[in-house]
A = this chain, B = another copy of it.
Amino acid sequence: MSTLQSTSHSATSAGHARWNAASRATQALNSLCDTDEDFRPLQPFGTKQRFKRNETIFNEGDEAKYAFRVVSGVVRLCKHLPDGRRQISDFLLEGDFFGFLESGEYSFSAEAVKEAVVICYPTRQIDRAAEGSPVMRKRFLELLAKRLQDMQEHLVMLGRQTAMERVASFLLSLIERSGNSDTILYIPMSRQDIADYLGLTIETVCRALTELKRDRIIDAPNLHQLRLTDGDALEILAEGES
Contact = CB atoms under 8 A, between A and B. Distances in A.
Interface of A: 79, 81-83, 85-87, 89, 101-103, 107-108, 131, 134, 137, 141-142, 144-149, 151-156, 158-160, 196, 198-199, 239-240
Q: Which of A102, A148, A159 counts the most chain B CB atoms within 10 A?
A: A159
Contacts of A240: 81, 83, 85
Given A101-B145, A148-B148, A155-B155, A160 B82 contact: no
Contacts of A145: 101-103
Contacts of A160: 81, 85-87, 199
Contact of A156 (B87, B103, B153): B87
B141 A101 contact: yes
28 contacts: A79-B152, A79-B155, A79-B156, A83-B240, A85-B160, A86-B160, A87-B156, A87-B159, A87-B160, A89-B155, A101-B141, A101-B144, A101-B148, A102-B145, A103-B142, A103-B145, A107-B148, A107-B149, A107-B152, A137-B137, A144-B148, A151-B151, A151-B155, A155-B155, A155-B158, A158-B158, A158-B159, A159-B196
Q: Could you say which of A83, A148, A160 has the most chain B C-beta atoms within 10 Å of its C-beta?
A: A148
Contacts of A131: 134
Nearest to A146: B103
Nearest to A103: B145
A170 to B, nearest CB: 13
Contacts of A196: 159
Contacts of A199: 158-160
A177 B159 CA distance: 22
A103 B239 CA distance: 23
Nearest to A134: B131
A144 B144 contact: yes
A108 to B, nearest CB: 6
Nearest to A131: B134
